[in-house]
Amino acid sequence: MFDWWQYEFMRTALWAVLLLVPLLSLLGTLVVNNRMSFFSDALGHSALTGVAIGVLAGVSDHRLVTVLFGVVFALLMNRIRRSRLASTDTVIGVFSSVGVALGLTLLSARGNLSNYQSLLVGDILSVTPQELWVLGLALLITVAVWLLCFNGFFAVSVSPSVARSKGFSVGLYDNLFVVLVAVVVMLAIRWVGLLLINAMLILPAASARNVARSMRSFYLLALLFGLYSGVLGLILSYYNGVATGPTIILVLAAVFFGTFLLRKK
Amino acid sequence: MSHCGLHCLKINHITVRAGGETLVEDVSLHAHCGEITAVIGRNGAGKSTLFKAILGEIPHQGQVVFTGHNGTPAQNKPRIGYVPQSLNLDEGSPATVLDMALTYTSRWPAFLPAPRRLRRDIAAHFARFDAADLLDKPAGRLSGGEWQRVLLAIATRPHPDMLMLDEPVSGVDKAGLVRFYDLLEQLRREDMVILLISHDLDFVRQHADRVVLLDRRVLASGAPADVFAGEAFANAFPTGGEPHV
């Protein structure tokens, strides 16, 4: 049962799951509450362009370029979303399409598009021990921001007017949240893949929302559902010889449907 | 004689334009501490837009000045309590009323279990608004009347210099409204400027000290009896009671 433990890549992958899943679950709670799952999906798709720009710029580690691009892309998308010049889902749909098309065009210009297929589904088993530190730091920063800023994030999403009357800076919290999501999505994209990242972001929170009766239980359940599915998915994929990321998503989806049947009436 | 730090809210020549349209035009009004000033008018008359301009939420021309007792501008930024018409909160939201109170009226992160003392403080404040027993209820499933009391409790913690209320058009029953206006009467005695958008003219007649009839511009203002007897009121509300939509 525990023979997977003897392999270092599996032990590293377990650590990666234990760091990455809580990180995504935490952000996912507000993505789900704010009905922004289409927004985060578009952000994930735009990673393709971020990587392409990194490749064309000739940088050996595209991560920094990808993160910077993600932040700019997210702020721009948020600004247009807030301006109410067009309907939100149309604007995000356009951004999403451009993110993918531009990325594919730029990468194909180098004639080696197939080299980047791993970006689509990612590979959590490819996390190196050094990268675990990056993930740990990202989790630490996100938890700190959450402790300091959660009330502001939530206040602004429920009523910007009341939030403003209570002294919250509406623009600051609104943008800080999308920047945080952008950074984490861009960091995680090579391990989770742009087709799957959004599922890992929203499924734990969506499942928790089905049964939670307070903000505390919502957070606790999102975390537990995420960790349970992450670890179980990793082990199942090892024994069945299938890809890890998609297996985790399938376990998460099973949890979602289970909680959906149990949902509060 | 009132003792609040803020004596008067002066709105001078406020104009709001958006998308080539003038939504609010040259509106001036004074609202005093210890009084309920009601803004009435048909749907689309610019009442909520005027509130947003006062809150500083939308670009506008003109001035919003808060003055102290001697008529000079207030030293500190006034504390505003705002009760909106509605919130972006759906039925499935996991947030309880306590979570909402923690979010808007404390620094304690609302996703962590609240310290007992903080919960006790909030419950004591909410008890004044008959809302202490609502604290553990899901916020997305309150009735209209319950919501109004919860939002009023949130708006008055801490004690504001000015309370702005945008009354919902529907969803609150008569008993709920009676209770709501009772609470406003109590708050009025606690030294605050109360500015209210109301759709229930009976309650305005009974409880307001001043009425402003708005239709993009101020059509009439003054004591309720005077405004209600005027020609502008008769034109805006031909049926005399229900807003002419």
Residue A190 lies in a domain: yes
- Distance between CA B151 and CA B155 in Å, rounded? 6
Domain count, chain A: 1
What is the span of the domain harbouring residue A31?
A: 3-194
Confidence of residue A84 (pLDDT cuts 50, 70, 90): low
Residue A261 lies in a domain: no
For A186-243, how does the pLDDT look when each residue is reduced to its tens digit (9 = 90+)?
A: 999 888 888 899 999 999 999 999 999 999 999 999 999 999 999 999 999 999 999 9
Cβ distance B94 to A209 less than 8 Å, yes or no, reads yes
CB atoms < 10 A from the CB of B17, how many?
A: 14
Residue A47 lies in a domain: yes
> ipTM value of the model?
0.89
- Distance between CA B119 and CA B126 in Å, rounded? 10
**Residues 6 or more apart whose Cβ sits within 8 Å of residue B28:** B10, B11, B12, B13, B14, B62, B218
Residue A224 lies in a domain: no
Cβ distance A154 to B81 less than 8 Å, yes or no, reads no
| CATH number of the domain residue A21 falls in | 1.10.3470.10
Cβ distance B111 to A146 less than 8 Å, yes or no, reads yes
- Distance between CA B75 and CA A260 in Å, rounded? 54
Q: Report the DSSP beta bridge partners of residue B63.
A: B12
For B119-143, how does the pLDDT look when each residue is reduced to its tens digit (9 = 90+)?
A: 999 999 999 999 999 999 999 999 8
Cβ distance A165 to B154 less than 8 Å, yes or no, reads no
Shortest CA gap A91–chain B (Å): 20
Claim: this prediction has a pTM higher than 0.95: no
For the stretch B108-144, what's the b/e string if a residue is b when 16 or more beta carbons lie within 10 angstroms of its beta carbon? bbbbeebeeebbebbeebbebbbbeebbebbbeebee
Give pLDDT, residue A64.
87
In angstroms, how far is CA B32 from the centroid of its own chain?
Answer: 14
For A153-191, how does the pLDDT look when each residue is reduced to its tens digit (9 = 90+)?
A: 999 999 999 999 999 999 999 999 999 999 999 999 888
Cβ distance A215 to B94 less than 8 Å, yes or no, reads yes
**Residues 6 or more apart whose Cβ sits within 8 Å of residue A231:** A14, A17, A18
Interface list for chain B against chain A, based on CB atoms closer than 8 Å: 52, 55-57, 80-82, 84, 87-89, 92-96, 98-100, 102-113, 136, 138, 151, 154-155, 164
Residue A123 lies in a domain: yes
- For residue B156, give the chain A residue with the closest CA: A166
**Contacts of residue B55 in chain A, CB cutoff 8 Å?**
161, 164-165
Among B89, B103, B155, select the one facing A151 at the smallest CB separation. Answer: B103
**Residues 6 or more apart whose Cβ sits within 8 Å of residue B235:** B219
Residue A217 lies in a domain: no
Q: Do residues B210 and B190 touch, judged by C-beta distance below 8 A? A: no
- For residue A84, give the chain B residue with the closest CA: B19
Mean pLDDT, all residues of chain A: 91
Q: Are strands B162-166 and B217-222 parallel, antiparallel or unpaired?
A: unpaired
Lowest mean pLDDT among A77-81, A82-86, B145-149: A82-86
Confidence of residue B245 (pLDDT cuts 50, 70, 90): very low
Residue A244 lies in a domain: no
DSSP state of B211: E
Give pLDDT, residue B1.
43
Shortest CA gap B98–chain A (Å): 9
Residue A260 lies in a domain: no
